[in-house]
A and B are shown apart, each in its own frame.
Chain A
Amino acid sequence: MFTTPFDYRNAHSVQDVIEWLQEDPDNTKILAGGHSLLPLMKLRLSTVSHLIDIGQIPELQGIVLSDNELRIGAFTRYVQLVRDPSVALAAPLVAEAARVIGDLQVRNRGTIGGSLCHADPAADLPAALLALGAELEIAGPAGKRREDIDSFFLAPFITTLAPGEVLTAIRIPRIAQGARSIYLKRPHLASGYPIIGVAAWVVLRDAQVDSCRIAITGIGSVPFRAFSAEQMLVGQTFTRDVILRAAEQVASDQSFDDDDDGYKANLCRVYVTRALAALGNQG
């Protein structure tokens, strides 16, 4: 399998990337881990004339934990998320989701930024990042901006990232004290991507839900938050009945493509239930 011809440049700063992207915006792509982009190029589903490698830009690397926030450079590979102690401390959900992406080779190459910018509706990490309320740092010709991840995904493979913009970092608020969290994935038998992946956390106070979040990937056209179920849960005693009702809520709030038989809605119910039940059992 061979790509169409392209030239390759190695950027050393975000500024390089922004400038180079402007030279031929329609035919230029950023290369991160290459685990989505290169297969597309080899299948000639994507024809790119210029590749800009962002693997050697210090600003895009590193994981820094401050008092209330974790900052992860966009070019952080999955394997680093899995191993990093501050991720384990402040955002264990991210490590848990990264751990079940693809196989070892994929995790050694793929990056958090690549996953977000590629916006595959069946990517694992977005669920965890939605559940944690991440914020994205983006740089472009017009300067820097920040965006809440809730509004970032527009459609399959489409985000709010404008041509010429670079995702530089992901900021994740430290998960609430005492929170229990889980990422529950149902891998596709062939591809291993999630058919559904549920990321959830809950803080219980005297068996009552103090706060919680649920985000789901794989099964919809974009990863989404289960807002109404979250609201429903807050203040409730975390019982089997309450969990079932919350799961029912998630499934009925959504409409799924290709679901005449109701299988996807059912999976949604089953996986939300299982994820929440597992949280109940974690205590």
Chain B
Amino acid sequence: MADVIGSALKRHEDVRLIRGKGQYTDDIKLPGMLYAGIVRSPHAHARLVKVDVSRALKMPGVVAAFTGADLKDEVGFIPTAWIPPDSDMKMPPHPALAVDMVRYQGDGVAVVIAQTPAQARDGVDAVEVEYESLPAVTNPFAAAQEGAPLVHEDIAGNVAFHWKVGGDVEEIFNRAEVVVRQEFRQQRLVPNAMEPRSAVAQWNPATEELTLWATTQNPHIHRLLMSGILGIPEHKLRVVAIDVGGAFGSKISCYPDEIIVSWAARRLNRPVKWTETRTENFTVTSHGRDHVQEVALAGTKDGHIEAIRVKTYANLGAYLSTAAPGVPTILFGLIVNGAYAIPEASAEVYGMLTHTTPVDAYRGAGRPEATFLVERMVDLYAHAINKDPLEVRNINLIPAEAFPYTNPFGLQYDSGNYQGALAKALEIVDYAAFRREQENLRQQGKYIGIGFSTYVEMCGLGPSEVAGAVGFQGGLWESATVRVHPTGKVTVFTGASPHGQGEETTFAQIVAQELGVPPEDIEVVHGDTSKIAMGWGTYGSRTTVVGGAAIHLADQKVIAKARKIAAHKLEVGEDDVEFEQGIFSVKGLPARAVTFQEAALDAYLAWSLPAGMEPALEGTAFYNPENFTYPFGTHIAIVSVDPDTGDVELMRYVAVDDVGVVINPMLVEGQIHGGLVQGIGQALYEGVEYDTNGQLMTGSFLDYAMPKARFFPKFETAHTTTPSPHNPLGVKGVGETGAIASTPAVVNAVMDALAPFGIQDLPMPLTPRKVWQAIASKGGHMHVHDAI
């Protein structure tokens, strides 16, 4: 059998998913099931004067309707699960249904439960709500200003927390030869998973157990949080994530909707389903990013960066979502020096409450916000000292011999060869030739630009001791059980909860390689708290890094036991047995052999086991990672800008990523492509807008520009391989690199193209109108000049 690890196996899960045979939460139909519709505030900020469900109750098919007042005494507030240390965080109460105030457009005020989804929808319209509309604030910087409307009366200045790390950099800034300052706006994004959220709850009065099927990335975290909120003991609560159609962070959070259906199912003793509409997905499912950043960089005239200082106003929305406070702090502030050996750094974050949809992790979660600012600052610094941005990168990138490298905040970067990845990218793009062509085209009034992003990110969070130290209210280890059946077939149980990434395939590859069992003999089970003892889910590019490592450890336990059984059968000492490609053989006597499958059968028959050995063959492991992993690489974007229209065309995109050992190159490629599209989407197309009243102006695909396939050239991808020394597989995460690296590469490229106009920065997304305005305001082309 050839190596399974490293081969581009087709996705096992696709056999069902692309034939329409997947089972999603909304596909669940239970006898007697009812449907919930949620009445949502049209106002961003209003006092609830009256919520009257009496008319709804008379509507055909309506079975029940509840308001915040009904839930108030039975359902606890929804907590956040991340409390940044030393931040004096204040957690505003978040009821599942609003009681006297609504704090963002979409905040729930009542639920109507009916026989059919359409009747529930009609019932929603029949609920009479009287609002007293109040002024709203949506921008995190504006929310911090004197006199801004308060989101929660008890939280002064709308500051949920204030967090600061790093040294005192003032002295360096005072004496620096060059200081570059820039404000950046990380715009707000909608994650837009293809499958909207859904939840089905069923109460079993006999066993007093509640089962919740939900679109979640982390069923065990859901169970933990919901148990507290609903007062149902953890062993009586089962949370199941069947097929989940994408998330990008938006299905981490414990949402009001899931709590409402759970409570209602018990109250009514009938199963209750709720499925969000696309409109709700835009308005109430967590958003991503949304920072106002003030950044300063100090350096020498000859290109050595000495310090970076960041002050950020991070928008958290109206309430603190599950992972929200950790995203703009730990996952952002600690890595603002990026891939550069910057001796001193500091980061200060104001976690701001506003009258907007809660903000939580979104693909990259914190690292894109950090990578963007440092990659942009390097370019601005290069411009300020009149040097090539590539030269400045070469001067400041952490050298390969410096690993493991401790960054100014104490993070230990595991392994890297940043120059290696850059060199590989420059084999693909002929930089000198590009600059020549750029100059020629400028003479003809045509503008092309190149942008680099020599990024590093951190993912696969752990160890759990660190999770605790940084305020995450959970562990960040992962569990795995590898259960070998009597026939030698294998079921793998993982505590990670993949939802589109393809680990049913990747994990089977790890097991196939290590046990020598064909991949088709292996089934991977995930996402059900009744089947998997404990696990922490899928996010932060942790699944293969941490979950895969746990499987590796479980495999080792299985092999160790099977080896003993084989040795017993072969009547030799354990040390005389070799195990390769699924066969135990006596060293030097390959004909004397026992297959893995035979050993498995022996383990279950237990007719003749080594003395004292328990029957059966399975291994369970709990892997607590030693550290984060730090994927890195070089991305290069080449764009052209049409000065007549402001159109930016992405001409080439080169991504050289080092994600350590690659288990399935096709899946890695897919993750990178998807990440690139989202990262480039942020640079050029996507962005949430609110009006001054807090109304979402980009609440549908008519106004919110999702990137389309036709916007992109063929991506040119390549790899270098620097295994992570921290985990037994040598893997690093890959789920987010594309989204982290690409945004600044593209913006740097556009700014490079616009350099002749004296334009150095524009806020994202770089829409044609914005680019055209900038050119026009610099006296650029107001007339049509293209070739006729």
Contact = CB atoms under 8 A, between A and B. Distances in A.
Interface of A: 1-2, 4-5, 43-44, 186, 188-191, 193, 240, 243-244, 247, 261-263, 266-267, 269-270, 273-274, 277, 280-281
A2 B701 contact: no
B114 to A, nearest CB: 11
Given A2-B118, A4-B122, A270-B784, A263 B773 contact: yes
Contacts of A5: 118, 122
B408 to A, nearest CB: 39
B703 A261 contact: no
Contacts of B121: 2
A71 to B, nearest CB: 33
Interface in B683-731: 685, 701-706
Contacts of B685: 189-190
Contacts of A281: 788
Contact of B279 (A1, A263, A277): A1
A243 B786 CA distance: 12
A60 B240 CA distance: 52
Contacts of B117: 2
B125 interface: yes
A44 B704 CA distance: 20
B788 A240 contact: yes
B645 A267 contact: yes
B760 interface: no
A266 B772 contact: yes
A270 B769 contact: no
Interface of B: 117-118, 121-122, 125, 277-279, 644-646, 685, 701-706, 767, 769, 772-773, 776, 782-784, 786, 788
In order of increasing CB-CB distance, the 6 nearest A-B pairs are A189-B705, A190-B705, A277-B788, A2-B118, A2-B121, A191-B702
Contact of A191 (B125, B646, B701, B786): B701
Contacts of A244: 783-784
Contacts of A277: 788
Given A1-B279, A2-B121, A189-B705, A263 B772 contact: yes
A280 B788 CA distance: 8
Contacts of B784: 244, 247, 269-270, 273-274
B523 to A, nearest CB: 36
Contacts of A270: 644-645, 784
A262 B644 CA distance: 12
Contact of B278 (A1, A243, A247, A274): A1
A277 B644 CA distance: 15
Given A5-B122, A261-B769, A273 B788 contact: yes
Given A269-B783, A270-B645, 5 more contacts: A190-B701, A190-B702, A191-B703, A193-B702, A244-B783
A189 B767 contact: yes
Nearest to B781: A266
Contact of A190 (B646, B706, B782): B706
A179 B426 CA distance: 50
A280 B705 CA distance: 34
Nearest to A274: B786
A261 B767 contact: no
Contacts of B701: 190-191
Contact of A43 (B122, B279, B645, B646): B279
Contacts of B706: 190
B277 A262 contact: no
Contacts of A266: 644-645, 772, 776, 782
A263 B703 CA distance: 18
Nearest to A281: B788
Contacts of A188: 705
A160 B74 CA distance: 58
A263 B776 CA distance: 9
Nearest to B710: A187
B121 to A, nearest CB: 4
14 contacts: A1-B277, A2-B117, A2-B118, A189-B685, A189-B767, A190-B702, A190-B703, A190-B704, A240-B788, A244-B784, A261-B769, A263-B773, A266-B782, A269-B784
A100 to B, nearest CB: 12
A261 B773 contact: yes
Nearest to A264: B769
Contacts of B118: 2, 5
A264 B81 CA distance: 48
Contacts of B786: 273-274
Nearest to B280: A1
A190 B689 CA distance: 14
Contacts of A190: 685, 701-706
A114 B465 CA distance: 63
Contacts of B705: 188-190
A230 to B, nearest CB: 19
Contacts of A269: 783-784
